[in-house]
Structure 1
Amino acid sequence: MGHLTHDEFFARLTELFNARKGKDYGHIYLTQKRFSYEQQTEAKPTAENPFPELHPEKPLPLIIRATNGKSTTQAHTTEKVKVSTIVQPADLEAFYSRYAEVCRAGMSALKPRDRTKRKAKARKKNKGGGGGAAQPS
């Protein structure tokens, strides 16, 4: 599957967030990295730029990906969904403003993690001690 347009990407990202709304399980991974043209251009090292892949002449576009974490347990089997889009350097500001809106709206609808077990364990550890130095009387 190829890369989506920005509008298609935002629509699919919204669907991913809505699919997770109110559930006790599941993940959504958002990644971004520089899109390289290694296959399309062969930049040669020069005296001014010995590492052309690290310092390209023109800014490279970004690839933005979103995927759900496919659950491996029998009770939570879901189909893995991967979506990606390419963002040109000139479009970054407009893309990120809309990306932030979609992520903010989607994350506010997600159920927060239950951390009561971790907090109870930390409290028990702090109370139990007993092996410290003797207290002065």
Structure 2
Amino acid sequence: MGREHLSNDEFFTQLGNLFEHNRKKGHGSVYLTQKRLIFDSASTPATPTKVADDPLWDTHPENPLPVLIRASNNASDKKAGTERQDVAKIVLSTIVEPGDIDTFYIRYAEACKAGMSSLKKRDRKKGKKDKKRKKVAV
């Protein structure tokens, strides 16, 4: 857990590189996760007080919490005898402050769209095409 978090700009640069790396290899996945950051070593947020009527009392903090964003190529699931055994695991993370969330997600969406630009169009099953043809012919 001793990893340092990247700045938001560094995160987007490295995320673009990760998408490009997978595109050149011709296969691979990029896993993107996000969660609110409950504990920050720099400042400990005040714990919300428990309310008897509210079953989700811990989801209403007094101050907005930052968000932890992670990206990984998940190369830890290597199996012996596969060609992917030489791929090193890449893990990226950044912390987004509550005031920067809107601008971050705009850039995040653009980076994700750019990373998905080389995806192949899904092959449809022949059965669906045949059903459509029958309906039109009738």
Paired amino acid for 1:81: I
* Unmatched 5+ stretches in structure 1: 128-137
Cα-Cα RMSD: 3.0
The answer to whether the 8 A contact 2:67-2:97 is kept is: yes
State whether residues 62 and 87 of structure 1, in contact with CA within 8 Å, keep that contact through their aligned partners in structure 2: yes
TM-score, normalised by the number of residues in structure 1: 0.72
Name the structure, 1 or 2, with higher relative contact order (CA <8 Å, separation 6+).
1
Compute the TM-score of the two structures, normalised by the length of structure 2. 0.71
The 8 Å contact of residues 24 and 111 in structure 1, kept in 2 or not, is answered as no
State the match for 2:83 in structure 1.
75
Indicate the percent of aligned positions where both proteins have the same amino acid: 41
**Contact between 1:29 and 1:69, CA under 8 Å: does it hold in 2?**
yes
The 1:44–1:61 alpha-carbon spacing in structure 2 relative to 1, beyond 3 Å, is closer
Report if aligned partners of 1:45, 1:52 keep a CA contact under 8 Å in 2: yes
Return the letter of the residue paired with 2:13. Answer: A
Aligned length: 121
Aligned to 2:7: 5
Higher-Rg member (1/2):
1
The answer to whether the 8 Å contact 1:4/1:85 transfers is yes
Residues 46-55 or 2-11, more deviating: 46-55
Aligned with 1:91: secondary structure?
A: helix
In the alignment, which residue of structure 2 is the partner of 1:43?
47
Secondary structure of the 2:125 match is helix
Runs (5+) with no aligned partner, structure 2: 132-138
Q: Would you say the 8 A contact 1:34–1:62 is kept in 2? A: yes
- What is the distance in 2 between the residues matched to 1:47 and 1:33? 23
